[in-house]
Amino acid sequence: MTDYFPGIDTIAYEGPTTDNALAFRHYNADELVEGKSMREHLRFAAAYWHCFCNGCADQFGGPTRTMPWEDADPMQTARNKVDANFELCTKLGIEYYCFHDTDVAPEGETLAESFANFDEIAAYLKAKQDETGVKLLWGTANCFSHPRFVHGAGTSCNADAFAYAAAKIAKAIEVTHALGGEGYVFWGGREGYKTLLNTDMGRELDHLAALLKMAVEHKKKIGFTGQFYIEPKPKEPTKHQYDSDAAACFAFLQKYGLENDFKMNIEANHATLAGHDFQHELEFSAINGILGSVDANRGDLMLGWDTDQFPTDIRETTLAMLSILGAGGFTTGGLNFDAHVARESIDPVDLFHAHIGAMDAFARGLKNAAAIRAGGKLDAFKKERYGSWDTGIGAQIEAGQLDMDALKAYMLDKGEVDANASGRVEMLENLLNDYI
Ligand code: XLS
Ligand code: NI
Ligand code: NI
């Protein structure tokens, strides 16, 4: 094994009282929760782009992070990053990783050269997967960074940009398939607009749907059975992204008859940018049968952009795991840490502190959520709150037995509604805190 993280051993579970910063306090991979190991519940994944490609440059300055895998030759850098990825995942006990085509292999002078680079690195990724047992959770294509995608990809006014994106996506799906990837993500990138003064929204959305339909056909053609996901985000880089939240995505998918081919990849920071709680997006997806995977990060509510911080808020992870467990848990999806270290966290070891904290935060969230479910008080409260729908008039309405005339007659006769009960918001908030 290479040694990009010298002096760091395999990270072990040492329990909540340990002094060791490089140990898990709560994530104990084989510990059973609701009859399933934490490893199987949480299905952690490392995000290639943030771990190995993001030097933490910002608008005011260049990269600050020491990235010892960088070499003057971009293909050598690419091979080094593969080594670093598998070293990181193995040492942390992270079983999955995720990538964009351009994260793993440099773009060439031509599309053909880019594909050749991608194939070469994919073969190396495959060898390292076989050697370590680390697997690909999902792949994706970057159809937003290059200037050719200035007007978008699937929604570009330039038909050639659409064609280029289709070529990249086809290739990325093929490579994901070859690597045994369990899913493939579509994040809108620049699929949106800056101003309606230059934008034909209806036509752009038709084009986006056409691109996704082609992807579904391509998937079938090559025999890829992994799950397709859409990752909602309301803004950034465009002012308005078409896939703005789970509800907008679901409406779009239904309009174009794509609702059985896609699930959601819900990102915590995108949810808050959309003005929703993380849990709202998870719960909306769960009730519609489209909860697929999660980009597990956190935003900063003081800031209006995608800060992609590692998740550390136990209340958030608890509520998220409550919805995920409620939906029956992950099948093809998992928790991908779409997060980067802070610009001032400049050492390779900081990647370990970041992942350890995030994995512990979700381990606590999982245990808390399981305890809440076992306690049964929240469920019982909700059940009772809707009691008026279980019998009498409520049950008849739910069964579709009554029309408006019947309800008019019912209410004229009864005169006033039965007394409302308190929603007990504060009591329930206190109850939640009992578990955190
Ligand atoms: C950007 C997105 C991106 C996707 C993958 O905001 O989160 O990183 O997860 O393209
Ligand atoms: Ni993301
Ligand atoms: Ni994001």
- Per DSSP, the residues of 88-145 read HHHHHT--EEEEEHHHHS---SSHHHHHHHHHHHHHHHHHHHHHH--EEEEEE---SS
My answer on whether 214 and 361 are in the same domain is: yes
Q: Is residue 263 part of a domain?
A: yes
Residues 157 and 254 in one domain: yes
Q: Is 271 in the pocket of ligand 1 (CB under 6 A)?
A: no
DSSP code for 190: T
Q: 388 and 337 in one domain?
A: no
Does residue 18 form part of some domain? no
Q: Which domain holds residue 237?
A: 32-375
Domain membership flag for residue 368? yes
Q: Which of 187, 270, 273, 307 to mutate to test the pocket of ligand 1 (most atoms within 8 A of CB)?
A: 187
Q: Is 190 in the pocket of ligand 1 (CB under 6 A)?
A: no
pLDDT at 1 over 70: no
Same domain, 410 and 299: no
Burial group, residue 413, by CB count within 10 angstroms (0-12, 13-18, 19+) = exposed
Tell me, yes or no, whether 403 and 276 share the same domain.
Answer: no
pLDDT tens digits along 319-372: 999 999 999 999 999 999 999 999 999 999 999 999 999 999 999 999 999 999
State the DSSP H helix or E strand holding residue 46, giving kind and residue range, or none if neither.
strand 44-47
CATH of the domain at 192: 3.20.20.150
356 and 386 together in one domain: no
Helix and strand tally (H, E) in the chain? Answer: 16, 12
174 lines ligand 1 (CB under 6 A): no
Per-residue pLDDT averaged across 223-232, rounded? 98
| pLDDT tens digits, 183-222 | 999 999 999 999 999 999 999 999 999 999 999 999 999 9
Question: Residues 62-80: pLDDT tens digits?
Answer: 999 999 999 999 999 999 9
Is pLDDT above 70 for 97? yes
290 and 386 assigned to the same domain:
no
**pLDDT of 2 over the 90 cut:** no
Say whether both 315 and 351 belong to one domain. yes
Q: What is the CA radius of gyration of the chain?
A: 24
Q: Total structural domains in the chain?
A: 2
Do 345 and 409 lie in one domain? The reply is: no
Query: Active-site residue 261, yes or no?
Result: no
Answer whether residue 392 shows pLDDT above 70: yes
Answer yes or no: is 393 within a domain. Answer: yes
Region for residue 380 given its phi and psi (left: phi exceeds 0; alpha: psi -120 to 50; beta: otherwise)? alpha
100 is catalytic: yes
**Residue 272 domain-assigned?**
yes
Does 431 lie in the same domain as 323?
no
- The 10 Å Cβ neighbour count of residue 405 is 8
Residue 194 lies in a domain: yes
Residue 7 domain-assigned (yes or no): no
Domain end among 375, 396, 427: 375
196-203: list long-range contacts, CB under 8 Å, 24+ apart: 200/157
Which residues have C-beta within 8 Å of that of residue 137, sequence separation ≥ 6? Answer: 43, 45, 96, 97, 98, 181, 182, 183, 293, 333, 334, 336
